[in-house]
Structure 1
Amino acid sequence: MGIRKKSNKNPPVLSHEFIIQNHADIVSCVAMVFLLGLMFEVTSKVAVLFITVQYNVTISNNEGPEETTLNYFQHGLKDLATVFFYMLVSIIMHAIIQEYVLDKINRKMHFSKTKHSKFNESGQLSAFYLFSCGWGISILSSENLLSNPIGLWEGYPHTLMPFQMKFYYICQLGYWLHAFPELYFQKTKKEDIPRQVVYISLYLVHIAGAYLLNLNRLGLVLLVLHYFVELLFHVSRLVYFSNENRQTGFTLWAVLFVLGRLLTLSLSVLTMGFGLAGAEEQGLDFASGNFNVLFIRITVLAAICVTQAFMMWKFINFQLRRWREQAHAQTQTVKKKAAPAKSKSSKKDKANGVNGALASNGADSPRARKEKSS
């Protein structure tokens, strides 16, 4: 992300600089409009679409001594309004973390422009990955998916989601959608925008794909796994910025990154290639949310494999560049150590008259000529 510079001058209202400096306040006002809409009966029905999770389904449970009801949720077009609202919330949270945490640290550390930008990016993503990873693990534990991996494909299609899982996907989509306007708000450099757009789009495509194709369980497991590895990388980069000698985290991240890619591929092949392929519910049925057909399974598996291959290619390039930089730094260190020794020897040679051709022959010295004349 680029560096957002604050100026004491008041820019013209509705100018680019005015929007960038005050975007958090503007977005907060828009979010407050939806919240205030809940207070009036005329607007409450519309405001509810943006704030609360939609498509509630109540199911009676007669297994116990008393009849209980269980609340589940499905997905639909109304979710777009909810995602939009939580995109606004993500922009506000982004601004809070930036102003009250990262900017204060930046003022103390006095980073260069490049480090400033990378520090802001890693700081924002570390907070998000930590929150998402912890929340995702709690959902997996409550749904017993960690102890029962068969649940990834058993009972597909998983059209009914508990509140926590549906809200998790809504927040994930809202967060990654908010990253697009942040490219403008943070004044991202033009050369960095294509990389950021690809990065954000990959998240949105995979998260939305898992959500719409009712592969929410598999998607949640893969997201938590990926977020944990990415969290380690960005925390390691934050530690590196504070002390460049601390690079142990990058080594651990490199090992876990490769293991994470292998585990992602293994779970994807196990679920799509074996679990769903052998399931009783086969066929394409939009009404029941069943997308368990060969073409979709191959498409999903191919998308995951291509993404993992792309990430490995980027990872290998990153490691090669890092090794080259370390080798270059070591070469420069050796040269700096050799330079003082060379200068000392050259001064000594000059004092002994062996620097170039100056008095290189002892017979040409004045004392030698005096002895010959005598």
Structure 2
Amino acid sequence: MGAKRKTGSTKNPPIFSHEFIIQNHADIVSCIAMVIVVGLMFQVSTPFATLFVTMQHNLTVNTSEENKEPEQLTLYTYGMKDLCSIFFYFLITIVLHAVVQEYLLDKLNRKLHLSKSKHSKFNESGQLLVFYLISIVWGMDTMIKEGFTQNLSFMWEGYPHATLSFTLKFYFVIQIAYWLHTFPEIYFQKVKKEEMSARLRYQLLYSIVIIAGFLLNLTHLTLVCLIIHYFIEMIFHFARLMYFSDKPDLSDPSFIVWAVLFIIARLVTVTLNILAVGFGLGKATNQEINTEAGNFNVLPIRISVLTAVCLLEAWMLWNFLTFQLRRYRENQAFTAKKKFVPKVKDKKAKKEPAVKNVLAEQQNDSSANEASPKAVNGGVRTRSKIKKK
């Protein structure tokens, strides 16, 4: 009977049920992605499969430099076909998310024996730490190859940046696909309602900012801001992982570094946006909207971009300061209670020995009275009197 109960409890859930989809979502998504990849092998389905796998809207540009032979470069713009690429890499990011979860984070969770609330936050920080690290390295490599590190003017010179290299466009496609995949992951990971609002908030903000920078052809500026922000968030999630792992020697200094750099990053981001959008694009000659050329350099759009960035950074800074103040007050209250508790214990400890001394003296007096000859004689006389009666 026990064996039957165990086998009955470990049965697979019904097909197309919620539990079945949650448990096997990575396999289902990988099968869909494999169907698209296999389509590249057949001549009939190759045109359809290439819409998903390769980058679309490519242009061939002839470059001619002094004392060099003309070369042909393949650059890319954006269009409706990019939705197919975003969908395919959206599926790939879900599969990679499951791989990191199963082969890295789950093994660490078994060793740490975390609670359910800490388990969810540990998985969130682990996934984001891996993504931020890859995005920073990839973004820095792209900046070096594109020659963006030579001068800050690359953020606004040559606007509109409607034509992108393969690495730069692929970077933004992956960024959009990753942040879009985080929405169904809330369902797949069974995120609690208490944590759901906070996650949806920052996932939505990331998606809006990256898509807006991509569509407005502000990719150079968006790339720099993302690298700065990702670096700060990487330190935070590293400190969070060390905190859950009970390593205060690493978590405490990391939280301090994150707190200092967070404020600096907010100021740097606002300064770069004012410099690029306010002054750089404000002094440009092309001040008319041209959707075909990808030019959106007009005063209302510039004001909207700067207002949105300033409000977003101010909101993040306000949340950061309120959080730090709340933690400071909690720590002060905890230390005050900690100082008050030992005094109570000391008073109790002083009273207990005094009571014990009184009891000891009473016992000594009683024992002394019992051992005194008067008490003995008195006892004998009383006994003798009782016998006579």
Does TM-score exceed 0.5, indicating one fold?
Answer: yes
Give CA-to-partner distance per residue, 1:79-102, whole Å, 9 cap, x none: 111001111111001000000000
The alpha-carbon deviation at position 336 of structure 1 amounts to 5.2
In the alignment, what sits opposite 2:64?
A: 62
Q: Which is greater in Rg? A: 2
The alpha-carbon deviation at position 73 of structure 1 amounts to 0.8
Cα pair 2:242 2:248 within 8 Å, conserved: no
Give CA-to-partner distance per residue, 1:48-77, whole Å, 9 cap, x none: 011111111111122143221111111111
The alpha-carbon deviation at position 276 of structure 1 amounts to 0.1
Tell me, what secondary structure is at the counterpart of 1:157? coil
Q: Higher relative CO (CA 8 A, sep ≥ 6), structure 1 or 2?
A: 1
RMSD: 1.9
The alpha-carbon deviation at position 346 of structure 1 amounts to 2.1
Q: 2:53 aligns with which of 51, 54, 76?
A: 51
AA aligned opposite 2:227: V
Q: 1:196 aligns with which of 180, 196, 199?
A: 199
In the alignment, what sits opposite 2:282?
A: 277
Moved more, 53-62 or 202-211: 53-62
Counterparts of 1:328 and 1:84 in 2: how far apart (Å)?
50
Cα pair 2:120 2:191 within 8 Å, conserved: no
Counterparts of 1:338 and 1:242 in 2: how far apart (Å)?
33
In the alignment, what sits opposite 1:301?
A: 306
Q: How do residues 253-292 of structure 1 correspond to structure 2 at under 5 angstroms?
A: 253-292=258-297
Counterparts of 1:8 and 1:268 in 2: how far apart (Å)?
56
Q: CA 1:343/1:9 → structure 2, altered by over 3 Å: closer, same or farther?
A: farther
Alignment size in residue pairs: 352
Give CA-to-partner distance per residue, 1:127-175, whole Å, 9 cap, x none: 0000001111111112222221011101100111111100000000000
Counterparts of 2:351 and 2:188 in 1: how far apart (Å)?
58
* Stretches of structure 1 lacking an aligned partner (at least 5 in a row): 1-6, 360-365, 368-374
Q: How do residues 1-374 of structure 1 correspond to structure 2 at under 5 angstroms?
A: 8-63=10-65, 64-243=67-246, 245-246=248-249, 247-335=252-340, 337-338=342-343, 340-353=345-358
Higher helix share: 2
Provide the TM-score with structure 2 as the length reference: 0.87
In the alignment, what sits opposite 2:383?
A: none
Counterparts of 1:300 and 1:24 in 2: how far apart (Å)?
38
* Stretches of structure 2 lacking an aligned partner (at least 5 in a row): 1-8, 363-367, 370-389
The alpha-carbon deviation at position 241 of structure 1 amounts to 1.4
The alpha-carbon deviation at position 335 of structure 1 amounts to 4.6
Q: CA 1:346/1:146 → structure 2, altered by over 3 Å: closer, same or farther?
A: farther
Give CA-to-partner distance per residue, 1:194-251, whole Å, 9 cap, x none: 2222111101111001100000000000000000000010001111112253311111
In the alignment, what sits opposite 2:384?
A: none
The alpha-carbon deviation at position 178 of structure 1 amounts to 0.2
Identity of aligned residues (%): 49
